[in-house]
Amino acid sequence: MHILLIHQAFASLDEAGGTRHHELARYLSQRGHKVTVIASPVSYLTGTDDRQRVRKQVDDLGVTILRSFTLPALHRSFIWRVFSFLSFMVSSFINGLFVRRVDLVWGTTPPIFQGPTAWLLARLKGVPFLLEVRDLWPAFAVAVGVLKNRWLISLSEGLERFLYRHADRVVVNSPGFIEHVQARGARRVSLVPNGADPDMFDPDSKGEQFRKRFGFENCFVVLYAGAHGMSNDLDVALDAADRLRESPGIRLVLLGSGKEKPRLRAEADRRGLDNLVFLPPLPKLEVPAALAGADACLAILKPIEMYKTTYPNKVFDYMAAGRPVILAIDGVIREVVEEAQAGVFVPPGDPSALADAIQMLANNPQKCRTMGMNGRITVVSRFSRDAFADQFSLILEEMRRSTDG
């Protein structure tokens, strides 16, 4: 089966950012499927445009990646961000027309604007359309205050309902999303949760090279790895670092990039937060070494009701690495971490509680180790990406069979 994926935020394993889709595409290729990805040359994480990138790449397992023109404006104003989305929507549609002998089109949201491209290509080619929902957009954008214009909200919600109703199958990555998409017209909904590849991580590694490189040899390192955006609430991490000034052996490390990073760095400098370190984003292949160099890992989002529905991918990577999770996110992911006894929950938006949790773990290295291994065991048994990739492949094959029938 030839699968066409339209994904502006796609990141390959040698890039920084979420690589879930490259991992899935490689797994599908190993199962004998042909996978073509139409992606952007502009990094969704950093907003930088790699104009030197080869337009067409084929990886070692035969996954084809086509880079389609995108306006490099993701980290400007909201309206410029929308223009960037629209530019990819148009260019990916044109490029998709020239991809031959496609058996299924796979669209993913957010950004929601690439959804219509995937739907229209599927209909023109007479093949099934699968819509994968990774975040509830525009609901999240409205909740965090990014999307405020009533006309744009109404238009976005109409587009969301259209896509749900016209998808042959909707796949969500969190159980918290199911009710939302069904209430807005999704007919057939399948859950394929976020997870992690345990084989990418060595829970027994101490990350000596990473720690030595950045001078963390004698420190208790709390690592956040991911986007530095409005939703991530990293000002709370700065406030927690402020409260931990009298604990010189503790380091908070923020690894990644995003629109908010320059402001956060300036604020940390203004306060003189020597116990807080900013690191640039790393390709996914280098992330395991960074997680191995951490003693605990932080997952954090703003205290917004809608965020209780999420299964953040980084949490499963942290658990696969055998590191305890400091979880400043309530809801369904809290249930996973607490059931596994894999970390500590702190109320979102509460820097004092976050500082207390960090100090508690720093004082209890054996507790850290036990929680970390509990998380590792849970990922291996319940959230292995191989198992979910197999489930996803079966869904695609079932959709193809139902069309042939």
Exposure string of 182-211, with b = 16+ CB inside 10 Å and e = fewer, is: eebebeebbebbbbbbbebbbbebebeebb
Q: Are residues 147 and 211 in the same domain?
A: no
Q: Are residues 327 and 212 in the same domain?
A: yes
The number of domains in the chain is 2
Residue 208 has pLDDT above 60, yes or no: yes
Contact predicate 163/112, CB 8 Å: yes
CA-based angle 126:132:137, to the nearest 5? 120
**Tell me, what's the pLDDT at 82?**
83
In the chain, the amino acid numbered 16 is: A
Please say if the pLDDT value at position 165 is more than 60: yes
Instruction: Calculate what percentage of the chain has a pLDDT beyond 70.
Output: 98
| 202 within 8 A of 232, measured Cβ to Cβ | no
Q: How far apart are CA 177 and CA 98, in angstroms?
A: 34
For residues 155 and 249, membership in a common domain is answered with no
154, 219: one domain: no
What is the identity of the amino acid at 115? G
Strand partners, 223: 253, 297
User: What's the confidence (pLDDT) of residue 52?
Assistant: 52
Cis link prior to 111 (omega < 30° from 0)? yes
The whole-number average pLDDT for the span 18-47 is: 90
pTM of the model: 0.92
Q: Give the HSE-up count for residue 121: Cα atoms under 13 Å, Cβ half-sphere.
A: 31
Q: Is the pLDDT of residue 83 over 80?
A: yes
Q: Mean of the per-residue pLDDT values for the chain?
A: 93
Q: Tokens standing for 376?
A: 């590792």
Do residues 37 and 125 both lie within one domain?
Answer: yes
- Give the pLDDT confidence of 239-282 residue by residue, as tens digits: 999 999 999 899 999 999 998 999 999 999 999 999 999 999 99
Q: Residue 253 is part of which domain span? A: 198-382
Question: Residue 54: its pLDDT value, please?
Answer: 65
Q: In this predicted structure, what is the pLDDT of residue 317? A: 96
Same domain, 12 and 133: yes
218 in the same domain as 357? yes
My answer on whether 358 and 237 are in the same domain is yes
C-alpha distances in Å from residue 234, one per residue of 257, 267, 350, 379: 12, 11, 11, 26
User: Taking the alpha carbons of 288, 289, 290, 293 in that order, is the dihedral positive or negative?
Assistant: positive
**Residue 142, pLDDT above cutoff 70:** yes
Instruction: Identify the DSSP state of 43.
Output: -
Same domain, 226 and 368: yes
Any idea which residue has 């957010």 for tokens?
A: 110
pLDDT band (50, 70, 90) for residue 44: confident
What's 212's domain CATH number?
3.40.50.2000
Q: Residue 296: its pLDDT value, please?
A: 98
Read off the tokens for 26.
């490689």
Band (pLDDT 50/70/90 cuts) for residue 51 is: very low
Q: What is the pLDDT of residues 305-342, one digit of tens each?
A: 999 999 999 999 999 999 999 999 999 999 999 999 99
For 85-91, the CB contacts below 8 A with 24+ separation are 85/8, 85/111, 85/113, 85/114, 86/113, 88/8, 88/40, 88/113, 88/114, 89/113, 89/114, 89/116, 89/117
Q: What is the pLDDT of residue 405?
A: 55
Range 93-107 average pLDDT: 97
Both 109 and 211 in one domain: the answer is: no
Hey, how many other C-beta atoms are within 10 angstroms of the C-beta on 154? 11
* 313 in the same domain as 170: no
Q: Are residues 187 and 233 located together in one domain of the fold?
A: no
